[in-house]
Amino acid sequence: MREIAIRDALKEAMAEEMLRDERVFLMGEEVGAYNGAYKCSKGLLEKFGPKRVIDTPICENGFAGVGIGAAMAGLRPIVEFMTFNFSLIAIDQIINTAAKARLMSAGQLKCPIVFRGAGGAAFQLAAQHANSFEQFYAYTPGLIVVAPATAYDMKGLLKSSIRNDNPVVFFESELTYNKKGEVPEEEYLVPIGVADVKRQGSDITLISWSKNVFLTLEVAEGLVAEGYNPEVIDLRTLRPLDTETVLRSVAKTHRVLIIQEQHEIASYGAWLHHLICTKIWDELDAPVGLVSALEAPLPYAKSLETVILPSRDRCLAAAREVLLGAR
């Protein structure tokens, strides 16, 4: 094992798959000559050339459509959005074309394409550049939605996503590209649709995904200091969801707190809340807890940003409420 940054884990995943399969190529804004907006594609243009690492105009709807057409024609594109905030320009291509291609062609068309890029808030990017859109895509049948946290999972799941014959929406985070983690020297894959129990526990299940897994682990440490034994689940994949792991954990601890960066209304966390309450209601000893971003566009001011987004203190307070509450 060696320790590398998440951006390098992503670069390795793309490079390995491009070497393995000549049908794989990368396209997006600044992925080539600039080495990627976050340097996730550094050196790939020199290694693979401009036919396989393609700089596009600032035209998400256009290059997403080109990628979908290439996938239907037998190639395996990786389409990078500089940020998933900009994917709204291409949302019709992703949801109405890529997601529905196999169904509407009666299985005659495959669409092996990966849409990847940074999602969620970063440092003071303000309202138009700080949205968490996982639920938009997880809502849509026909799409696979992946939201890993660690360098190990980023690399292994991106490789699995590139090899999948269905369209995959792959969420990363601007705030964690520099974060390092252990990654094997040898090739490996992480299976899509399998959650990871980051910490075994018995008193409460803490559930999260993407960069908020790191916040959730901090919350777990705080609970341990207070004498509790929390279990932490990193979903890794939102669609398909590893329902079995989630329900098994909640049935063991009998209490659950979901931590997400999305707004609560119509969110993925709200869906998880519904799922847990309808599937294993009798196992719950307290109402399901949910910590979300507050219901306001994210402001630029740092002092307000920290209020809107989930924080360690707000999550700890919510966890205590679940632990001390009764149904």
Query: pLDDT category, 122, cuts 50, 70, 90?
Result: confident
- pLDDT single digits (tens) 222-234: 999 999 999 999 9
**β-pairing verdict for 24-28 and 76-81:** parallel
How confident is the model over 225-254, as a mean pLDDT? 98
Range(s) of the chain covered by CATH 3.40.50.970:
2-183
Residue 129 known to be catalytic: yes
- pLDDT single digits (tens) 292-326: 999 999 889 988 988 999 999 999 999 999 999 87
- pLDDT single digits (tens) 82-98: 999 999 999 999 999 99
Average pLDDT, the chain: 96
In the block, which residue shows the tokens 């670069």?
A: 11
Query: pLDDT category, 126, cuts 50, 70, 90?
Result: confident
Q: Give 253-299 as a DSSP string.
A: HS-EEEEEEEESTT-HHHHHHHHHHHHSGGG-SSPPEEEEE-SSPPP
- pLDDT single digits (tens) 53-83: 999 999 999 999 999 999 999 999 999 999 9
Range(s) of the chain covered by CATH 3.40.50.920:
196-322
- pLDDT single digits (tens) 105-118: 999 999 999 999 99
CATH superfamily name and code, 2-183: Thiamin diphosphate (ThDP)-binding fold, Pyr/PP domains (3.40.50.970)
Asked if pLDDT for residue 163 goes beyond 70, the answer is: yes
Query: Domain 196-322 classified CATH 1.10.1840.10?
Result: no
Residue of 129, 134, 172, 273 with catalytic role:
129
How confident is the model over 262-266, as a mean pLDDT? 95
| pLDDT for residue 211 | 96
Residue of 12, 17, 29, 60 with catalytic role:
60
Query: pLDDT category, 327, cuts 50, 70, 90?
Result: low
